[in-house]
Structure 1
Amino acid sequence: MNHAEDWIRERLASKRWLAWVAESDGEVCGHVFLHPVERVPEPYENNTPLGYVTNFYVVPERRNRGFGAALLQALRRHAQGSGMDVLIVWPSERSVPLYHRSGFQSPTELLEAR
């Protein structure tokens, strides 16, 4: 096994990360990962975790066939059922239209320091 595979196995086994896969003809053709991020409790705010969406990929020969939309739909259903009211993602330029169609919007309250 390589480092990435070890890392993924450990995170999925610990339930700190969740993953969805898409299959076609018995082979995995796509995946997306979700990491619930706890918020520090505040007495007057909603303290539900937010979700960090990452590592979203569909093999090129299976793109534009609904696999990506299905993965995001399953992830969003789980997030809503778990009480997550915010999902964040750093999309690739190519994936932005798919995220927009799936209900993601550009934030108005986010700052970043690099």
Structure 2
Amino acid sequence: MGDGRWLAWVAESDGVARGHVFLNLVERVPEPYEDNTPLGYVTNFYVTPGFRDRRCGAALLDALRRHARATGMDVLVVWPSERSVPLYRRAGFRPPEELLEARDS
């Protein structure tokens, strides 16, 4: 879409969109010793209620992950809803080992 930093996958059945997931390519700060491949931010993931628990969501995430591997993207991040955590875990997402966060209260 547009400048190529946003990608989308759509699941269809009988010509009707039944779900979608978006991937935002986030540029990293250039480092001389690290790979500067963008990281992927997974967002706007939705499957219509009638197609949930029928592998529609899993197929969308599989397609997104295949694309990430094919393009050398080694990090995907997501802020999942409580309901979606099991789906992301089945797709291979895990909590990061190294992450620090500071929030203003």
Structures share fold, TM-score greater than 0.5: yes
SS, match of residue 57 in structure 1: strand
**Aligned residue for 2:94?**
105
Instruction: Tell me how far apart the structure 2 counterparts of residues 113 and 22 of structure 1 sit (CA, whole Å).
Output: 37
Matched, 1:85 2:102: no
Identity %: 75
Matched, 1:14 2:3: yes
Q: Which structure's residues are more often helix, by fraction?
A: 1
Which runs of 5 or more structure 1 residues have no equivalent in the other structure? 1-11
**Aligned residue for 1:76?**
65
Q: Which of 23, 44, 47 matches 1:55?
A: 44
Contact 2:42 2:77 in 1 (8 A): yes
Instruction: Tell me how far apart the structure 1 counterparts of residues 5 and 95 of structure 2 sit (CA, whole Å).
Output: 26
Considering only aligned residues, what root-mean-square deviation do their CA atoms show, in Å? 1.0
Give the partner amino acid of 2:87.
L
TM-score (norm 1): 0.86
**Aligned residue for 1:67?**
56
TM-score (norm 2): 0.93
Which runs of 5 or more structure 2 residues have no equivalent in the other structure? none
* CA deviation vs aligned residue, 1:16-75 (integer Å, no higher than 9, x gap): 200000011210010000011111111112221100000000011110001100000000
**Aligned residue for 2:18?**
29
Instruction: Tell me how far apart the structure 2 counterparts of residues 71 and 112 of structure 1 sit (CA, whole Å).
Output: 29
**Aligned residue for 2:83?**
94
